[in-house]
Amino acid sequence: MASTLFSDLLVIDCASFIAGPAAATVMADFGARVIKIEPPGLGDSYRNLIRVRGAPGTPDYFWIMDSRNKQSLALGLKAPADRAALDVLIGKADVFITNYPFPVRERLRLRAQDVMPLNKRLIYASLTPYGEHGPERDRTAYDTTAWWARSGLMDMVRATGETEPGLSMPGMGDHPTAMATYGAILTALYRRQITGEGGEVSTSLLANGLWSNACQIQAALCDVELPARAARGVRGSLGETYQAADGRYFVLAIANPGKEWPLLARALGHDDWLEDARFAAPEARLANAAVLTRLLEGIFAHEPWEHWRGVLSDANVTFGLVARTTDHADDPQVNANGLMPEFVDAPGLKTVDSPFQIAGEAKNGPWMAPKIGQHGREILEEFGIDASGLQAFRGAAE
């Protein structure tokens, strides 16, 4: 692998599922050496999510996405010899990431007070569902419960106030939380550069859910009572979704109607709307939202999406396609910005890049995610650890 920005960093990914490991993935994208610790046999339980979703026999797209550019070492951390092997790696590492529940950390001696004395320069990154303190610190959770539901986002993101709350998609809150974990780690590494000492950083799904919903929560903190989301035809027409003739949906996002409303009306061939008493002023448009929405629906239903993409782009109106997940691989804008690079060792297969670039700094790979314990023997030999007594190596070759 080519020398990259973080090529001198060793990261121990001793976490499971998404948010913690995905933070390590971002570091690996910029060249950090990431050793994934997972149990022998079944490996990280994240590998089983593909089966939970009822997709046996398909590529494990979850694992491919969040474990790229990593090495896998299988250790049974309940076994003293395996736990001692991990201590050797911790003594050489720059970053240790875990999201194990606190009771598990205590049993496995993976708490900050257990790990940090092994390496005074270590950054210990703790990811929890609900935070380091309080009555729920030991509770288990996923982003569906601690990020999406608990933050209030699940309650607020409905079609109308009467619509039942919608479930989140896998990883929807985990990946933003991973970026907060990454930011905390890099902040601590910067402090280490100044002081020479490591330290403990933490974040939680709850904290990131609150941050994601912060504008609405701030309203509540200011005693502002936000109304339930109004029904279509009541909430206004210039921030609404519409369907083109080919079935594709798009959304208007006209936040500056004084400028963009005339542009939209003229682009649709309706200069007369600008003088129409029902639509000329913002208050009138809102009062007549049902009428204007029906008029726009009728117009947009006559042509396919590509036609309206051109019309609205030429008019400099703010809008966006309601994309499907199958749209992105061939999206010219996505590809122009390199947001979906191909795997080096699996030509033709793309992945989703970490969401930022640093000018002048190349990213690593991407390289395909490892099999369980794929790099175990070479890692152990490199660090002078006897493999014979470890669970993954007892009585069988790796």
CATH number of 241-321: 3.30.1540.10
Domain boundaries, the chain: 10-212+341-393, 241-321
Which pLDDT value is given to residue 57? 64
- Please check whether the domain covering 10-212+341-393 is classified as CATH 3.20.20.120: no
**Rounded to an integer, what distance in angstroms lies between the CA atom of residue 236 and that of residue 243?**
16
**Rounded to an integer, what distance in angstroms lies between the CA atom of residue 188 and that of residue 96?**
12
Which pLDDT value is given to residue 397? 42
Q: What is the 3-state secondary structure (H, E, C) of the chain?
A: CCCCCCCCCEEEECCCCCHHHHHHHHHHHCCCEEEEEECCCCCCHHHHHHHHCCCCCCCCHHHHHHCCCEEEEECCCCCHHHHHHHHHHHHHCCEEEECCCHHHHHHHCCCHHHHHHHCCCCEEEEEECCCCCCCCCCCCCCHHHHHHHCCCHHHHCCCCCCCCCCCCCCCCCHHHHHHHHHHHHHHHHHHHHHHCCCEEEEEEHHHHHHHHCHHHHHHHHCCCCCCCCCCCCCCCCCCCEEECCCCCEEEECCCCHHHHHHHHHHHCCCHHHHCCCCCCCHHHHHHCHHHHHHHHHHHHCCCCHHHHHHHHHHCCCCEEECCCCCCHHHCHHHHHCCCCCEECCEEEEECCCCCCCECCECCCCCCCCCCCCCCHHHHHHHCCCCCCCCHHHCCCCC
Displacement of CA 32 from its chain's centroid (Å) = 19
**Rounded to an integer, what distance in angstroms lies between the CA atom of residue 28 and that of residue 22?**
9
pTM listed for this prediction: 0.94
The DSSP bridge partners found for residue 35 are: 12, 71
Per residue of the chain (398 residues), what is the pLDDT tens digit? 457 999 999 999 999 999 999 999 999 999 999 999 999 999 999 998 888 776 666 899 999 999 999 999 999 999 999 999 999 999 999 999 999 999 999 999 999 999 999 999 999 999 999 999 999 999 999 999 999 999 999 999 998 888 999 999 999 999 999 999 999 999 999 999 999 999 999 999 999 999 999 999 999 999 999 988 889 989 999 999 999 999 999 999 999 999 999 999 999 999 999 999 999 999 999 999 999 999 999 999 999 999 999 999 999 999 999 999 999 999 999 999 999 999 999 999 999 999 999 999 999 999 999 999 999 999 999 999 999 999 999 754 43
Which pLDDT value is given to residue 2? 57
Give the pairing type, strands 123-128 and 199-204. Answer: parallel
Which pLDDT value is given to residue 344? 97
